[in-house]
Amino acid sequence: MRMAFVLGEIGSGIRRNLSMVVSVILVTFVSLTFVGAAGLLQLQINQMKGYWYDRVQVAVFLCVGNDVSPSCASGAVTDQQRSAIEAKLNSPEFKQYIDTVQFEDQETALGHFREQFANSPIVDSVTADQLPETFRVSLVDPEKYEVINEAFSSMPGVESVSDQRELLEKVFSFMNIASLVALLIAVLMLVCAILLIATTIRLSAFSRRRETGIMRLVGASKAVIQLPFVLEGVIAALIGAVLASGTLWAVAHFFIGMLARQYPATAFISAREVLMLSPALLILGALLAGVSSLLTLRRYIKV
C-alpha cells in the first residue's frame, strides 16, 4: 500500500510538472555528456601516451652542405664523423639506454618528406641534398632522452638531437586543454541541473502542499512525505544519464570506430570504455538529484 502510494505521488508530480521534468532530463543529459566526454578524452590521452611513448624515437640529425646552424659551421657531415657517431651509438656505454638504431639516408628522408607533405605546394621544390641524414634511435626508457642529447648534440657532424616526445607533448597538451574545457562546461551545466532540479522539486512541493499538510496531520513519516519528491528528481536525472551514456557510446562506436579503421597505427579507445564509464554517470546523476532534492525539501517541507 505504501509503495503504491509513493508511485502514485511520483506519477502525479511528473504529470503536474512535465515541462520542468523534461528540462531536468535535458540539462542532466547535456551536462553528463560533457562529463563523459571529458572522461573519455582523458582516457584517450592516456592510451595514446602509453602507445606512442613506447614507440617514441630520438632523431640525431646530421649536418648538410647548406646548413646554417652554428654546429654545422664546418660543412656537411663527413664519412669519418658519421662513422664515429654510429660507433658511439652502438657502443657498450649506451647499450643500457638504446634499444635500436636505424640510419635514414637523404633519399629515404626525401621519400618520407613527400609522403608527409603530399598535398603541399613545396613538395616538388625540395631535393634530397637539402634534407639531413638521420639516426633514428629507439630508447629503452624514453625518459632518458637527455642522456642521448648531452652525449651527441656536441659531436662534430651533428646538427641537432630531437626528441619526438616534444612534438607529442604539444598534441597532448592541446588535448588536455580540450578535456579541461569540456570538464568546466560540464561543471557549469551540472550547476544548472542542480538549480533546475531544486526549482522543480520546490514547485512540485508547492503544488501539493495541501496533500502534504494532510499527510502530516495523519501522522505520515518524514521519509514517506519526502520520498516521492526525491524520486521524481532522481528518475529525471537517471533518464538524462542514460541518454548521455547512449550518446557517448554512439560516438565511440561509430565516430571513433571509423577513425580506428582509417588510422590502424594509432591507439584509440573503444565503446567498452563508455560501458565502464556509464555506471559512474548514472551514480553521479542520481547523487546530484538526490542531494539537491533533499536540501530543497528541508527548506520547503517541514515535517
Site of grid cell 555506471: 279
- pLDDT for the residue numbered 254: 86
Q: Name the most confidently modeled range: 80-89, 260-269, 294-303.
A: 80-89
- Can you read off the three cell numbers belonging to residue 165? 616526445
Q: How confident is the model at residue 256 (pLDDT cuts 50, 70, 90)?
A: confident
- Report whether pLDDT(95) > 50: yes
* Residues 175 and 285 reside in one and the same domain: yes
Choose the final residue of a domain: 147, 164, 181. 164
C-beta of residue 290 within 8 angstroms of C-beta of residue 269:
no
- pLDDT for the residue numbered 217: 57
Q: How confident is the model at residue 88 (pLDDT cuts 50, 70, 90)?
A: very high
Give how far the C-alpha of residue 284 lies from the chain's centroid of Cα atoms, to the nearest Å.
Answer: 19
Closest CA to 212 of 9, 4, 3, 14: 9
- Report whether pLDDT(215) > 60: no
- pLDDT for the residue numbered 83: 92
- Report whether pLDDT(242) > 90: yes
Choose the final residue of a domain: 164, 184, 214. 164
* Residues 31 and 66 reside in one and the same domain: no
C-beta of residue 222 within 8 angstroms of C-beta of residue 230:
no
Q: How confident is the model at residue 62 (pLDDT cuts 50, 70, 90)?
A: very high
* Residues 211 and 271 reside in one and the same domain: yes
* Residues 272 and 173 reside in one and the same domain: yes
Domain count, the chain: 2
* Mean pLDDT of the 197-215 span: 66
pTM: 0.62
- pLDDT for the residue numbered 243: 94
For residue 121, give its domain range. Answer: 56-164
Percent of the chain with pLDDT over 70: 76
Closest CA to 25 of 196, 187, 182: 196
SS3 assignment for the chain: CHHHHHHHHHHHHHHHCHHHHHHHHHHHHHHHHHHHHHHHHHHHHHHHHHHHHCCCEEEEEECCCCCCCHHHCCCCCCHHHHHHHHHHHCCHHHCCCEEEEEEECHHHHHHHHHHHCCCCCCHHHCCHHHCCCEEEEEECCHHHHHHHHHHHCCCCCEEEEEEHHHHHHHHHHHHHHHHHHHHHHHHHHHHHHHHHHHHHHHHHHHHCHHHHHHHHHCCCCHHHHHHHHHHHHHHHHHHHHHHHHHHHHHHHHHHHHHHHHHCCCCCCCCHHHHHHHHHHHHHHHHHHHHHHHHHHHHHHCCC
* Mean pLDDT of the 138-153 span: 83
Query: pLDDT digits over 5-53, tens only?
Result: 555 655 665 666 677 778 778 888 888 888 888 888 878 877 776 666 6
- pLDDT for the residue numbered 32: 87
CB atoms within 10 A of CB 130: 15
Choose the final residue of a domain: 107, 136, 164. 164
* Residues 60 and 128 reside in one and the same domain: yes
* Residues 90 and 235 reside in one and the same domain: no
* Residues 295 and 173 reside in one and the same domain: yes
* Residues 89 and 183 reside in one and the same domain: no
* Mean pLDDT of the 55-79 span: 83
- pLDDT for the residue numbered 303: 45
- Residue 98's CATH number: 3.30.70.3040
Q: What is the mean pLDDT of the chain?
A: 78
Spatial separation of the C-alpha atoms in residues 160 and 142, rounded to whole Å = 18
* Residues 107 and 34 reside in one and the same domain: no
* Residues 183 and 294 reside in one and the same domain: yes
Q: Name the most confidently modeled range: 10-24, 117-131, 207-221.
A: 117-131
* Residues 236 and 116 reside in one and the same domain: no
- pLDDT for the residue numbered 1: 41
Spatial separation of the C-alpha atoms in residues 56 and 77, rounded to whole Å = 25
Q: Give the least confident one: 78-92, 141-155, 160-174.
A: 160-174
* Residues 173 and 274 reside in one and the same domain: yes
Q: Give the least confident one: 131-135, 176-180, 214-218.
A: 214-218
* Mean pLDDT of the 267-279 span: 80
